[in-house]
Amino acid sequence: MSARNRELLNLTVVGALTAIGFASVYIAQQEVVSTSSLSYAGFFFTLYLAAHIVARMCVPHADPYLLPIAALLTAIGVTEIYRLNPDDAFRQGLWVVIGVGLFAATLFALRRDYRRLETYRYLFGLAAIVLLVLPAAPVIGRTVNGANLWVGFGSFQFQPGELAKILLIVFLAGYLREKREVLAQGRLKDFGPLLVIWGGAMLVLFQTNDLGSGLLYFGIFLAMLYVATARAWFVAAGMALFVAGATVVYEIVPRVQERVAVWRDPWPLADDEGYQIVQSHYSMAAGGFGGTGLGKGTFTTIDGDYVIPFLKTDFIYSALSQELGLVGSAALLLVFMLFALRGFRVALLATDGFSKLLAIGLTFGFALQTFIIVGGVVRLIPLTGITLPFVSYGGSSLLANFLLLAGLMLISNRANERMSGA
């Protein structure tokens, strides 16, 4: 079976799963199976069918699992968001349409050779930095939940950090491919630019007040640096530097201290700072092994107020855990692992340095972001407000993830094409 036919088959399975998911939410909430549950699934399937056709035209040899997994994750996200608030699901659905559009446009624009991006690496780097500092800009910068991660124009809000992450990965892939031999020698003078990046990550940390984003950018950077230079001690030194920087931030920023205190023991703070995480634990516990079932979970008080703030964004995982149970949340994490595995496979199969570095950056970024947000929710690490890729509510995050998907498919198309051609 050709890669694209396999992809189509997988998408059909995802379409059926989406229909079942929506149907169960409908049954749970309205006690009727309405045809509109099927029309939601139908809409979703058509959308991804369009994406599939574009893939068939532009990247015929690309990995056949990436697009269906992304489709499954967005479907899970939209279903859960629909279950929490149908209006939000409509907006999220709109973002998925735009995301798929962006995905198609990217595939189409770079279908001949994405590697020309390498030429513009410094431009990407500069753009990433501009986007990162944008939330600090007067007038358009916005602070949400204590973190300066947003820009807004009127009622429109955007998180430029999400896009900056992708641009930064492109820059690093180009830069490290060029300098890897020099860097591998380990001479101090070559490390200037890297210290600049470390400084940048710290700056982002300070400026956004958010440990999560800083950790994410720096983690991606270290993984790519390691793959480029094969020097494990760079990673160790980098981690040490990060810990040093984070300690300073911890000392200075009260919000970070608060988060760490809640992480260590939320129970004494259950009425104040720890409320969110404590209720999130209760939500997960309520799910138990089998879960309450989609649409059957409890997220509101008797008066209809949400028990957990930021449920549809930061805490979507604890909502899903309650309704799908341990079985469902473990399966969801396995789906994330599967996507990461396919991504790493793309990196392994890619034939040139730039492609390998780009693939490893995108994939590791995806995996690390999942770890940071879910790890925060299950209290493995202090909680930070970033999104669960493809699942959380939020346009900027969805668009960035569709770019990431497009990138991986472009790289795998080229790798597989050369393999089968050779």
Partner 1 sequence: MNRQINRVAVAALVLLAALIVATTYWQSWAAAGLADRQDNAIQRVAQFEIKRGEIFAADGHTYLARRVLRKVKGKKLYFRRYPQGARTAHVVGYSTTVRARAGLERSMNDYLTASNANLNTVVDTTLDKLRGATIEGNDLILTLRPGVQKLAYEQLAGRCGSVVALEPKTGRVLTMANSPSFDPNLMEKPGGYAKILKIQAPCSSPSPLVNRATFGHYIPGSIFKVVTASAGLDTGKYQPESTFVDPGFCVEYGRKVTNYSDQSGPAVYGRVNLVQALVNSINSVFCNIGKEMGPKPIVDYMKRYGFYSVPPLETPVNERRPSGLFDNGKLFEPENAGQVDPGRLAFGQERLQVTPLQMAMVAAGVANGGVPMEPYVVQRIRAPDGKTIRKARPHELGRAISPQTSRTLTEMMTLVVQGGTGTAAQIPGVAVAGKTGTAETGVRGRNTVWFITFAPADDPKVAVAVVLEAQSGTGGQLAAPIAKTVLQALLPSRSNT
Binding part of the chain for partner 1, among 86-94, 100-108, 243-251, 357-365 by CB under 8 A, reads 357-365
Stretch of 7-15, 82-90, 139-147, 325-333 contacting partner 1, by CB under 8 A:
325-333
Site for partner 1 in 159-218 (CB under 8 A): none
State the minimum distance, in angstroms, from the CB of residue 103 to partner 1: 23
Residue with tokens 């749970």: 28
Is 325 among the residues that bind partner 1 (CB under 8 A)? yes
Q: Are 397 and 161 in contact (CB under 8 A)?
A: no
Residue 60 phi/psi, 5° resolution?
-60, -25
Instruction: With beta carbons less than 8 A apart as the criterion, state whether 3 and 62 touch.
Output: yes
Residue 351 touches partner 1, criterion: CB under 8 A: no
Alpha-carbon distance of 268 to 258, in angstroms, equals: 13
Position 121 contacts partner 1 (CB under 8 A):
no
Binder to partner 1 among 299, 315, 354, 402 (CB under 8 A)? 299
User: Residue 112: CA atoms inside 13 Å, Cβ hemisphere, count?
Assistant: 3
Q: Which of the stretches 62-70, 74-82, 108-116, 317-325 binds partner 1 when contact is defined by CB under 8 A?
A: 317-325
CB 151 within 8 A of CB 140: yes
Structure tokens at 170: 């492109």
Cα separation of 274 and 194, whole Å?
A: 37
Q: Phi and psi at residue 411, in whole multiples of 5°?
A: -65, -45
Give dist(CA 92, CA 369) in Å, integer. Answer: 20
28: exposed, middle or buried (Cβ count in 10 Å: 0-12, 13-18, 19+): middle
Which listed range, 48-56, 158-166, 283-291, 394-402, lies at the site for partner 1 (CB under 8 A)? 283-291
Q: Which of 356, 386, 412, 413 binds partner 1 (CB under 8 A)?
A: 356
Task: Rule CB under 8 A: say whether 360 interacts with partner 1.
Answer: yes
Q: How is residue 12 written in tokens?
A: 């059909």
Nearer to partner 1, 140 or 333 (CB): 333
Give the tokens for residue 118.
């390498």
Pairing mode of beta strands 141-144, 156-158: unpaired
Choices 74-82, 166-174, 336-344, 397-405; region in contact with partner 1 by CB under 8 A: 336-344
CB of 69 to partner 1, least distance (A): 14
Q: Select the residue interacting with partner 1 from 15, 135, 214, 287 (CB under 8 A).
A: 287
- Chain residues binding partner 1 by CB under 8 A are 27-29, 223, 226-228, 230, 270-271, 278-279, 281-290, 292-293, 296, 298-304, 307, 321-322, 325-326, 329-330, 333-334, 336-337, 340-341, 344, 347-348, 353, 356, 360, 363-364, 367-368, 370-371, 374-375, 378-380
